[in-house]
Amino acid sequence: MEAKKKTKKEIVKMLLKNNELDEKDEEELLDLLIDQPISIDVDKQEDAQMTLGDRVADKVSEVAGSWGFILGFSCFLIFWVVLNGFILRGNTQIDAYPFILLNLLLSCIAALQAPIIMMSQNRQAAKDSLRNQNDYRTDLKSELILEELHHKMEEILRNQRKILRTIEEDSDEENNTK
């Protein structure tokens, strides 16, 4: 009775679970993996699935995590303190010392900016996970191909040794008949 042929998915699951494949299953897996590309371009795949919110989160993270933003915002803070602490006096001050309006503004910016940056980081972590899975599949394929090449090289060496012995035996017989 012929055993049922396993699918690629079943063979890979077996490999990943217990790392014990019989020779036939290993051959099937090698044939499947060698003939098909398994690597993917994670960046292209991720870009195709990005929503408008994802793009905005990435842009906000890109801007908020730059030296330009830090220097610009530092200049704004210094301007605010100088304007309200030294230039405008009395009733014309927008925000008198201890700058409660500035604290409120900074708190609001931080409250909005933090979750947006975290969304971008979560997306980046998901992309890194896809990259790791892709690397694992590529490494697995390379390992299987190398193992197959190793077996083929051993077979070639065995055949060469047989041929060499046959040639030596023929040579010895010729020398003995002379």
User: Domain segments of the chain: what residues?
Assistant: 1-36, 37-177
Say if residues 60 and 120 touch (Cβ distance below 8 Å): yes
Average pLDDT of 131-149?
84
Model pLDDT, residue 133: 84
Question: Quick check: 136 pLDDT over 70?
Answer: yes
Average pLDDT of 131-148?
84
Please name the residue ranges forming H helices in the chain.
8-18, 23-35, 42-49, 52-64, 67-82, 100-177
Kindly compute the dihedral angle of the four CA atoms of residues 21, 22, 26, 29, in this order, to the nearest 10 degrees. Answer: -70
5-19, 85-99, 128-142: range with lowest mean pLDDT: 5-19
DSSP state for residue 92 in the 8-state scheme: G
Average pLDDT of 112-133?
91
Average pLDDT of the chain is 83
What is the rounded distance in angstroms from the CA atom of residue 27 to the CA atom of residue 32? 9
Model pLDDT, residue 1: 42
Average pLDDT of 63-88?
92
